[in-house]
Amino acid sequence: MPGSIDNDVYGTDYCIGFDTAANCAVEAIDRIRDTARSHERLFFIEVMGRTAGFLALESGIAGGAEELAIPEEQVSVARMSERIRAGFTIGKKSAIVVVAEGKTPGISFHLAREVKKHLDVESRVVVLGHLQRGGPPTLRDRVLGSLLGVAAVEALLEGRSGCMVGEVGGELACTPLEETWQKKKPLNEDLRRIFAILSD
């Protein structure tokens, strides 16, 4: 059964734990936006995700982030700065950049320093860290865990082994274990497109 808040396991659309972590991140984004607006600040909010941007992408959409920095895309500091400046120019009182931790420790602090060179706006960095790994699971994670748990036991009773039970396109799937670590799970292109539209 796939369990990872990073949601980067090939062979399933969602891993157990991802929804709980994403909800934690969105709640934090909502709270931080309140203070960002009242103080007219730019916030860089770093979420977990290891080397994948699933958590940043989905929490960025749900939290209404203006910008996103994920390992799957090259970050242009100049472009990011210009888009943030444009938002402030048309009357926005704050901006949120959701940053996936990626491969580089402290990436959010680096981005904040670089953007500061282009913008005269006060910025802050918040690293959510292990806060995302704890707490009670969401309804979605509880139901997914139950669904996959029953499917895994049924697969074993039917004599199937060497596979991971997951959910793909709303259907149960049994992916060979070697594929789960040999193949890279791609980001959902529709969600990438939606973020681009909503953040424009």
* Tens digit of each residue's pLDDT (9 = 90 or more) over 61-77: 999 999 999 999 999 99
Q: Which of 91, 94, 97, 105 lies closest to 75, judged by CA?
A: 97
* Tens digit of each residue's pLDDT (9 = 90 or more) over 169-193: 999 999 999 999 999 999 999 999 9
**Average pLDDT over every residue of 94-100:** 96
Strands in 42-129 per DSSP E = 42-47, 67-69, 95-100, 123-127
Does the pLDDT at position 168 exceed 90?
yes
Q: Which of 96, 98, 43, 95 lies closest to 71, judged by CA?
A: 98
| Fold of the domain spanning 19-135+187-198 | Rossmann fold (3.40.50)
* Tens digit of each residue's pLDDT (9 = 90 or more) over 20-38: 999 999 999 999 999 999 9
Tell me what pLDDT residue 43 has. 98
Active site residue 19: no
Query: Cβ contacts of residue 104 below 8 Å, gap of 6+?
Result: 110
Tell me what pLDDT residue 104 has. 80
Q: Which of 121, 91, 127 lies closest to 109, judged by CA?
A: 127
Model pTM score: 0.93
Catalytic residue among 6, 8, 19, 141: 6
